[in-house]
Chain A
């Protein structure tokens, strides 16, 4: 029987999990926002990874019979997206119930009115979310349940009139955490079948011809016209689902890492430092890596690794979270932007404003001062991004500089502006060397943990290395 290994990286803002097979290949990834309850965050991330692993198995199976066709890839992507909607919807249903119950428990004189407004809001956001998932691929955009619904909910609350503002926000605040902390189990098979049905409807309503040279349209057109492609696919899929849904995904061993690792109910030797895991993961994907920079939610680490992927030295930021993901979150709040908007806006700057303070406390007042002086927002953001990277660079310098090859990991690596400054500054200071940034960079810690799990933590470490090198993506 095949064996799988699980790595869980419980970060301060996001929890990631990765399932690998016996060849160190990633078969499943799961990610969720970290909650006050680490155990639940870990469980959700793990469940997600298991669903994802089933999709991988499905893809493999279909690949065997259908070959590697682009529209197949598109279909599967679409299917996963709709599947996410299915999951979202179940959690949404339970949030709705919770909201209604919360309001019913209010001792407010206007309770009935509030309830009525609440129902109006729910009726408004339900189709919005449905549409964004099905037609705008919201499920592939790495947003978490809380973020999506609070954005929509708050938007509707502000349309409703100020006298209801407070109680409605209160109801939400009281309901979201318990909903989020509830483990919702899904039946994989049911959910996929349901998703296929939704997809059928979607494709029927789509154009058969390619409009405006749009790549998206092209895929859909291909799917629709080429001999009822999607129908064939859906048919093949249904055949495999039965087997895959019941197939066991036996986890032979698991390792936990990250900020909250000590809180995981794992035996002591199944808990590994995130420094070792990030290095090991990054090295597995890019075997020539000698320096790893990891910027996570809570801290930044500059790590040097040897040819086995073992850490030889590292440096971490000090007590303050300045220069980490948290700092970006704080900046986003300061500007009233979402985290995803920061990078692109910074990239549109015409110049970088000098920001003296990479201190979370001071940066806020510095930013306000600059705005008052008429400085453009993108330029300030560019300055802030640059300051963060400068801080990371001094950590790298402390740890012994950048050695060829350099790999950038962690959640912050998803920010394009950060990426640009990292590339520029590393090249300027250390010359022309190979820089790796992987699309899975946020999963490196979890990958490393899973790889440690496969090596049974201690045993066989050096021997198990070498041959299992995989192709880098990007």
Chain B
């Protein structure tokens, strides 16, 4: 089928991009390229590229290792080295991988970092994580950019100035020193231009869930879609091309009236539309997803796909104001929004995409996401009167995913949704029928 071929097109593109990155990383030292370890939220992809460095994302390695069933051994290794059981399992998976020879998810050895760039401190764990890495790599340069939290629900000019100052005084000079490349603002502007373009496309892509049936799943498939924009390709032509191709494929699905593609093929009937808050479980990703599509539930929006940047509300990188724009980008990550902002964003998704329900996946070892989740859930329940559901799992620790417990809760939740949906329909029926 034509659409099948096209679907594969974007997947092939993504696969090539990622393989290319890991190849470049494997050969980085030989080619004299500098390597920058950094995190997805608040990542300064464009700046890293301006200095011709290659990015490594520990969280991404952790989640990919989990999907390849390697995380359990790494976590155990980290625990053997006295990392507590309750610590964020991304960290332990990463540390374990390092202790076991730093073999990346593709089986290639990852290069040691020349720079540890911490541009986002929404979670204190990030800081501790890099402290740990600094102990393991004592020769590396640490660059620390402090990103203020959107405590009062907005980014003020002072906050932006505070960050721009750090760019001038801390970030740029250190990156120049490590890379031996002088900062070139024009080059950065060009990347930002392309970032803006990718951001437009990804917004359009996630907006297609307005259609019924929704042509995509904005959580389980969404995590693949955000790959390129989050892991170093934002600001490149490759990313723009990828998103264009993806958008075209989705348009075709819409025209054909097709629902989302699942690992077992097309979803046959869209019974429930949901908004999901919280990261997915990676160790049992397929099983987890299956519970949803087996019950005809499609995720029309998720907060997790916004951790690398919130573009829905119109914010874009701005080449006219490059450093200000980078500052604002860091502040505009989902987990850097205050709770009312998050509630508003999720409420908007529920309303605009016509969701029937809202589900929270609470992650045991991530305090950052979990704090406030229950309060947000209550508020959304009260405000929008949507049925809410709550499940618990973990990021990459397979010991904290209980299939039967999650299935039981979700099954109950879906039955509850079915009842409420029916009630609503009955209430809306004209009285003479």
Contacts and interface: CB of A to CB of B under 8 A. Distances in A.
Interface of A: 272-276, 308, 310-316, 318-319, 398, 400, 458, 461-462
Contact of B411 (A273, A312, A458, A461): A273
Interface in B362-382: 374, 378, 381
Contact of B412 (A273, A319, A398, A400): A273
B415 A272 contact: yes
A188 to B, nearest CB: 36
Contacts of B419: 276, 310-311, 461
Ordered nearest first, which 5 A-B pairs have the shortest CB separation? A273-B412, A275-B412, A319-B402, A311-B416, A273-B415
B127 interface: no
Contacts of B405: 316, 318-319
B409 A316 contact: yes
A381 B64 CA distance: 47
Given A312-B387, A318-B392, A318-B405, A276 B378 contact: no
A314 B418 CA distance: 15
* Chain B interface extent, by class: 20 to 34
A310 B416 contact: yes
A126 B408 CA distance: 44
Given A273-B411, A312-B387, A315-B390, A398 B374 contact: yes
Interface stretch (B142-150, B159-167, B420-428): B420-428
A431 to B, nearest CB: 20
Nearest to B362: A318
A313 B423 contact: no
A207 to B, nearest CB: 54
Contacts, number: 55
A454 to B, nearest CB: 15
Contacts of B374: 398
B422 to A, nearest CB: 6
10 contacts: A273-B415, A275-B416, A276-B412, A310-B423, A311-B419, A314-B412, A314-B413, A319-B392, A398-B374, A462-B423
Contacts of A316: 405, 408-409
A458 B389 CA distance: 21
| Interface majority SS (helix, strand, loop, mixed), chain B | helix
B257 to A, nearest CB: 26
Nearest to A319: B402
A273 B408 CA distance: 8
B422 A461 contact: yes
A313 B381 contact: yes
A458 B423 CA distance: 10
Interface of B: 374, 378, 381, 387-390, 392, 400, 402, 405, 408-409, 411-413, 415-416, 418-420, 422-423, 426
A308 to B, nearest CB: 7
A312 B377 CA distance: 13
Given A273-B412, A462-B426, A310 B390 contact: no
B388 A313 contact: yes
A272 B405 CA distance: 16
A5 to B, nearest CB: 18
Nearest to A318: B392
A311 B420 CA distance: 8
A70 B293 CA distance: 58
B360 to A, nearest CB: 11
B415 A314 contact: no
Contacts of A276: 412, 415-416, 419
Given A313-B387, A318-B392, A461 B423 contact: yes
A314 B359 CA distance: 12
Contact of A310 (B378, B400, B412, B420): B420
Contacts of B426: 462
A211 B402 CA distance: 59
Nearest to A460: B426
Contacts of B389: 313
A462 B425 CA distance: 11
B428 to A, nearest CB: 12
Contacts of A274: 412
Q: Which of B378, B413, B416, B418 has the most chain A CB atoms closer than 10 A to its own CB?
A: B416
B385 to A, nearest CB: 9
Contacts of A458: 418, 422
A430 to B, nearest CB: 16
A274 B426 CA distance: 24
B362 to A, nearest CB: 9
A268 to B, nearest CB: 11
Contacts of A313: 381, 387-389
A314 B416 contact: yes
Contacts of B388: 313
Contact of B423 (A308, A314, A398, A400): A308
A316 B390 CA distance: 9
A273 B388 CA distance: 16
